[in-house]
A and B are shown apart, each in its own frame.
Chain A
């Protein structure tokens, strides 16, 4: 089967950004509608990826292959399996919402803002579909450029610091990965094909070194404790759209890297070092949960909550059972919806009040009832309430963890209390109670556009919570295959 769907998913947004830049920021209406059209087109081309997906197969689908750099035997090799396909859809959907979210609030250089997000979207689709090591790396690093500009050009007061920290931290990780990729190329006798690397036999010492190189790269991106410190800074300073893309998609790249690279290429090292990852994940879940509890800045709180939720994802991957890995993947998608929604909610309030401090709010429900309903709903999802998507992933990972080791599962389960505590406490202080101050009293409820954005996400969260089968169905065969592969030693 030779289709161009993946290429379309990558290049439609990137090439679509060119006319957006060209039109320039003066013609705002045209820029907005064109960006929206590109984003929607980018989403529409990804839909066949789901509808035509054969969920009985575990291999790569929609494969595209063309020579790229013959001297290094590098190919333009794309393909998705049940693990990566949902993220392409998620990414393209989030891009549409981000364009809508930046509709009015971005006044400065709007064309560049929209264009940067479109390019970002295409590059991230590239990361999820690349099956060639160099191609993956190229997309992985190139996606830093638009994000750096987004944070630095449209961010808050401390944006320059945050942008540099984001860029250099992430680059630090990926450079070591580059060395590991080259090593794998030489070891495999001249192939950059990731699937070839999956079959490669590697001794235990190189396995551990490669694992560490990948770990540094992906741990920074996830981010895992203790290399998470760039994330709160980046989130706080980034514009709403930047935070949404960071939380919903960019963080998933690191976790995706673990499943695509670390686990299948160096399974023995993964098994040996699993206790380390599990420990780091539990620290993220519990310690960062407590850190989130004391935050006074809403965006920072959600950023820490993201780190804590991503801890769940890495935990799920390294307990090596079906329900754990699938739970982690479900958690990734769910977190994509929920964290995007949470940041958009904060964005809605920030646009009106220009403050992210919890203390500046209070009693928002009195003036913004529609918004409050949605915000409370997403907060519930964030704390893992049954019937929302947040519950499904966490529950599956906890089940898997208990299977693996009761105390690991027990420790992970504390998130149900912690998550509820920090999220709901924030909601209580912001949304409920008496009207906090005169500014809150003047707030206007959300309009149609904001309602549409949040409404779409609410439907997704609810649908995934009530009936997760369509999501787990597509990944089942691939996860099964991955676990079988990881169980076999490559020594």
Chain B
């Protein structure tokens, strides 16, 4: 048997391999120097990610390459999403440096787990086979469970990790079950093979649809769509803020990739005839997420919980784009690419805003003090007009008010939805965004109209301040000039689909 073994082409997976090797180095360095030089592991992690970015950029040729017996794909979409992931993780590491150090959590494990979670995301992004999807997903999820519980003595965090683990394991089970059924009826684990089987009508439809239901449930869990959203508020609330920031940013990109690969690449069916089955499910979940997310966020007094519900509603808006690609069982390439690229754009925009919002929470936190209540934002304009302005930008952007990136993201998905004939859904979505505007406005109200309760000077370091300022300005800048990122998203999908 061994004679048949052909060495796979490792070139497309170079970033993943590099990251894996470097993670061993981080482990080793932490073992040797961890007690005295904690900064080394952190620095090495950032260098690893920058190295990954460089490798991804250099090896990116815009071609779709399959390797590892068609289990792993390297295309422009993968490259773009990976670059965004590195960026999000690097930003997260810089944002959280001081926070983790103040709490004694900047241990080597933190950095290694972050790297493994990142590796999991990269595998998910590049998955061309159901097993690869699952492998990446589990690597990411297990690392995240560990990260949530990294503050071992904190009961709330451990509880959150437990909840996340149990629900996550259930979701993984559902996903696997769905995969097994799809494998059973199509006879293929390869996403391309599944698409072929569907195209030729070789799959038994009832089994396929049943499998799809479980698959969509698994995807919805990772995106945090209603009714699979229960874990989001508790985990966001319970985890250390830096970890919340991590969960709330880069994994959304990976989950988007998973949804796109499984549903659009795999389960579109001949001329998109099968798409209506998952589109209906996504439609219902999108509307429920937008509705519940926005309504429940109003009732929150904790900003992490508020942002958790806001994340649920944002993913609902994103899915509006994802479900609008196939109209009436017809695939029009232009419509499809516009719809999927609007969802991609929404995800990227959301990650940027989410990082900024949690960055603000980290900015106001200091040693021994978690600024996680809305009250902590009271009178921020008096304490620091500049960062109050940054938070104002982030909040209005999340609410979808122009000139910020969040508006153009919403605009793009609404346009896609209306084009696909979901005008009524679009009206419902904008009405809920009106409700959503209320709780974002409340944060602005606390900052600008109220007097501070906490008058301590802001203790955050220069790195956090600079990054947060850049983050806020990027949200405004990409709002004034949204063209570049939109073109990148469209081109990426055009070259990868």
Decide if A424 is an interface residue (CB 8 Å cutoff).
Answer: no
Decide if A69 is an interface residue (CB 8 Å cutoff).
Answer: yes
Docked pose: A384 CA to B292 CA in angstroms = 52
- One of A43-51, A140-148, A449-457, A480-488 at the interface: A140-148
Decide if B329 is an interface residue (CB 8 Å cutoff).
Answer: no
Which chain A residues lie closer than 8 Å to B418 at the CB level? 179, 182-183, 186
Decide if A168 is an interface residue (CB 8 Å cutoff).
Answer: yes
Decide if B486 is an interface residue (CB 8 Å cutoff).
Answer: yes
Q: Which of A14-55 contact B (CB under 8 A)?
A: 21, 24
Decide if B483 is an interface residue (CB 8 Å cutoff).
Answer: yes
Docked pose: A80 CA to B392 CA in angstroms = 32
Which chain B residues lie closer than 8 Å to A185 at the CB level? 415
Q: Which label, helix, strand, loop or mixed, suits the secondary structure of the B interface?
A: helix
- One of A94-102, A158-166, A394-402 at the interface: A158-166
* A interface residue count range (under 10 / 10 to 19 / 20 to 34 / 35 or more): 35 or more
The chain B residue sitting closest to A21, CB to CB, is B385
The chain A residue sitting closest to B418, CB to CB, is A182
Q: Which of B336-386 contact A (CB under 8 A)?
A: 338, 381, 385
- CB–CB A142/B401 < 8 A: yes
Q: Which of B454-489 contact A (CB under 8 A)?
A: 482-483, 486-487
- CB–CB A179/B414 < 8 A: yes
Number of residues of chain B lying within 8 A (CB) of chain A: 35
Decide if B430 is an interface residue (CB 8 Å cutoff).
Answer: yes
Docked pose: A141 CA to B403 CA in angstroms = 9
Would you give the shortest CB distance from B373 to chain A, in whole angstroms? 19
Docked pose: A185 CA to B381 CA in angstroms = 40
Which chain B residues lie closer than 8 Å to A164 at the CB level? 438, 441, 445
Q: Which of A123-172 contact B (CB under 8 A)?
A: 134, 137-139, 141-142, 144-145, 148-149, 152-153, 159-160, 163-164, 167-168, 171-172
Would you give the shortest CB distance from B327 to chain A, in whole angstroms? 12
Decide if B448 is an interface residue (CB 8 Å cutoff).
Answer: yes
Contacts A71-B486, A159-B449: A171 and B434 contacting too (C-beta < 8 A)? yes
Would you give the shortest CB distance from A77 to chain B, in whole angstroms? 15
Would you give the shortest CB distance from B334 to chain A, in whole angstroms? 10
Contact of A144 among B381, B392, B401, B415 (CB under 8 A): B401
- CB–CB A69/B483 < 8 A: yes
- CB–CB A153/B448 < 8 A: yes
Contacts A175-B431, A179-B430: A167 and B411 contacting too (C-beta < 8 A)? no
Decide if B209 is an interface residue (CB 8 Å cutoff).
Answer: no
Decide if B433 is an interface residue (CB 8 Å cutoff).
Answer: yes
Decide if B97 is an interface residue (CB 8 Å cutoff).
Answer: no
Would you give the shortest CB distance from A182 to chain B, in whole angstroms? 5
The chain A residue sitting closest to B448, CB to CB, is A153
Which chain B residues lie closer than 8 Å to A186 at the CB level? 415, 418-419
Which chain B residues lie closer than 8 Å to A167 at the CB level? 437, 441
Decide if A178 is an interface residue (CB 8 Å cutoff).
Answer: yes
- CB–CB A179/B434 < 8 A: no
- CB–CB A69/B482 < 8 A: yes
Decide if A72 is an interface residue (CB 8 Å cutoff).
Answer: yes
Decide if A68 is an interface residue (CB 8 Å cutoff).
Answer: yes
Decide if B407 is an interface residue (CB 8 Å cutoff).
Answer: yes
Docked pose: A72 CA to B430 CA in angstroms = 19
Decide if B490 is an interface residue (CB 8 Å cutoff).
Answer: yes
Which chain B residues lie closer than 8 Å to A148 at the CB level? 441, 444
Would you give the shortest CB distance from B383 to chain A, in whole angstroms? 13
Contacts A142-B401, A172-B434: A178 and B411 contacting too (C-beta < 8 A)? yes
Chain B interface residues toward A at CB < 8 A: 338, 381, 385, 392, 396, 401-403, 407-408, 411-412, 414-415, 418-419, 423, 426-427, 430-431, 433-434, 437-438, 441, 444-445, 448-449, 482-483, 486-487, 490
Can you offer 8 A-B residue contacts whose CB atoms are under 8 A? A21-B385, A112-B381, A141-B402, A148-B441, A164-B445, A176-B430, A178-B430, A179-B414
Please name the 10 residue pairs, one residue from A and one from B, whose CB atoms are nearest each other, closest first. A138-B402, A175-B430, A152-B449, A71-B486, A182-B418, A69-B483, A142-B402, A153-B448, A182-B415, A141-B402
